[in-house]
Amino acid sequence: MSKSFPRVLQVLPALESGGVEKATYDWVKILRQDHPMVPTFVASAGGRFVKPLEEWGCIHLTLPLTSKNPGRILWHAKRLADFIHQNGIQLVHARSRAPAWSALLATQWLKIPFLTTYHGVYNSHNRLKRFYNSVMARGDRVIAISAFVANHIEQEHSTLHPNICTIPEGIDVDLFHPERVSADQVRQLRHEWGAPPDRAVILLPGRLTRWKGQEVLAKAIPLLPNKKIFVVFLGDDQGRTDYKKRVVELTQGMPAAFIANCPYMPAAYAAADVVLSCSIEPEAFGRITAEALSMGRPYIGTPLGATPELCLDEKTGFLVPPGDYAALAQKIDTVLSLPLERKALLAQTARDHIVHNFSLARMATLTQQVYEETAYYSK
């Protein structure tokens, strides 16, 4: 007789906003759809995702898991242990460091498996910081969201001999599908942005922060020989008003718009003639890259972090050296001048690559396999 799917508790700091929070929300929905008879559990400090999760049948424990104070971590561990015991939870999945320490202690006391997902590359300036980060490599299984992250874990935590499995982050390839956006939606959005119909739209999505490279694009714009362009910086400054002011000043007099957000990102990608990611620091995964390529849009990124896993240079998109605004300008001009046949081939190759390797469905299948293996065979 086959074993039933295990009861899993997800722990993270909060459910307010951000990539980890959205990934957790998407993941719980998948678990509820695939295993409707098995309860799902989340522990966090709360936030805007709690209500929709509860509407999906998720049981949420409100616990302020953001504290780094050892005493609070110990107290949270006791609360988690009580919750785990009361609900017959068989596996705990931690997605962030502070909650992970409490979860690790609770699972050790109860002798149940502990699993982590390493979502990013953490700063480790000293031994204490490296020790604090190491909790993410202490799981019975450690999920890396990209080959880049897996390599980082091996180098950073080699003495722990982490049991790593690489499961690439997944996106909804059905949502990010070119056929999901109509020509009317594209026209309407371009109009809202203020982009003239005869201009090529250059789109740089991402929150306004130095490492996302908005300044690099701002410096590249004057070097473009094709002046019939319109640049859209799509992202919130999240309080970084000085940085936004600097980028605005750099683009003064240029055909550009600053848009805080877009409710329907597939339309944003479809409205762009070329999508950029100008990051000057490594991306642990690169959701924008994956979404743009899934939409079959011409794409230019930088060869840092996991981006080369998604964007195969000259095959699914193009890569330029980080911070090199002259090279960026030249590549934008090249991409805008590509023949339609070349663009069509790039689009199909890009979408195929994302669908086969970075879909939400593939991530779900692989992660559920790890849950079952870890819950029933690791201890």
Q: What is the pLDDT of residues 136-159, one digit of tens each?
A: 999 999 999 999 999 999 999 999
Residue 39 or 21, more confident:
39
**Above 60 in pLDDT, residue 287?**
yes
- Rounded distance between C-alpha atoms, residue 79 and residue 107, angstroms: 12
**Above 50 in pLDDT, residue 1?**
no
Q: What is the pLDDT of residues 62-110, one digit of tens each?
A: 999 888 888 999 999 999 999 999 999 999 999 988 899 999 999 999 9
pLDDT for residue 214: 95
**Above 90 in pLDDT, residue 127?**
no
**Above 70 in pLDDT, residue 378?**
no
Q: Is 294 exposed, middle or buried (0-12, 13-18, 19+ CB in 10 A)?
A: buried
* Same fold for the pair 8-170+359-377 and 178-357: yes
Q: What angle do CA 291, 292, 297 make, to 5 degrees?
A: 150
Rg (CA), the chain: 22
Question: What mean pLDDT value characterizes the chain?
Answer: 93
Q: Is 11 exposed, middle or buried (0-12, 13-18, 19+ CB in 10 A)?
A: buried
Confidence of residue 61 (pLDDT cuts 50, 70, 90): very high
Q: What is the pLDDT of residues 166-218, one digit of tens each?
A: 999 999 999 999 999 999 999 999 999 999 999 999 999 999 999 999 999 99
Confidence of residue 376 (pLDDT cuts 50, 70, 90): confident
Confidence of residue 20 (pLDDT cuts 50, 70, 90): confident
Q: What is the pLDDT of residues 335-344, one digit of tens each?
A: 999 999 999 9
Q: What's the topology of domain 178-357?
A: Rossmann fold (3.40.50)
pLDDT for residue 256: 94
**Which of 15-19, 166-170, 275-279, 284-288 shows the lowest mean pLDDT across its residues?**
15-19
Q: In the chain, where are the structural domains located? A: 8-170+359-377, 178-357
**Above 80 in pLDDT, residue 302?**
yes
CB 267, CB 191: distance < 8 Å:
no
CATH 3.40.50.2000, applies to 8-170+359-377: yes
Residues with Cβ < 8 Å from 147, sequence gap 6 or more?
Answer: 166, 306, 309
